Amino acid sequence: MPDGKRKQDPYSTFRFQVEFDNQIVGGFSEVSGLQMETEIEEHREGGVNDFVHKLPKGSKYPNLVLKRGIVDSDNLWKWHEQVINGKVERKTVRVILLDSENNEKWHWTFEKAYPVKWAGPDFKADSSAIAVETLELSHHGMKKT
């Protein structure tokens, strides 16, 4: 940087939105599981002792984990309850990274997502923490859109 000025600052992790089927369903305090990994298969070749071939085998994606403070809306609870009752409603979930002016910059899309785990808050009489619900979603992979 010859002029001594920074060209671009990285984006902050606290500016994001979550959409289900193109609708924002509420504010989330935390999102995790934006990860993908390509599994490999090691293959040793006879007579080659200085390295092992590592061949791509397949990719895997962990569950998407959403956390938010419990509010009057129980839509996440009801969605998971439907799955428990045998009605799996799959949705497209988008996690959107925003810049400092709230412009959309990066998008990650999770197709055919549905809840596989709901967890409620831990109650403690000696704490004033926010009651948080956690929802884990299984999905058919992650794409940057």
Per-residue pLDDT, averaged over 49-77, amounts to: 93
* Beta-sheet pairing, 104-119 with 132-138: antiparallel
Give the span between the Cα atoms of 76 and 21, in whole angstroms. Answer: 14
> Domain limits of the chain?
16-144
Partners of 17 in the beta sheet? 96
Q: What is the mean pLDDT of the chain?
A: 91
pTM of the model: 0.84
pLDDT tens-digit readout, 83-140: 999 999 999 999 999 988 989 999 999 999 999 999 999 999 998 999 999 999 999 9
Is the pLDDT confidence value at 4 over 70?
A: no
Element housing 91 (H / E): strand 91-98
**SS3 state at 44:** coil
Q: What's the fold here for domain 16-144?
A: Pnp Oxidase; Chain A (2.30.110)
The dihedral of CA 133, 139, 144, 145: what is its sign? negative
Is the pLDDT confidence value at 42 over 70?
A: yes
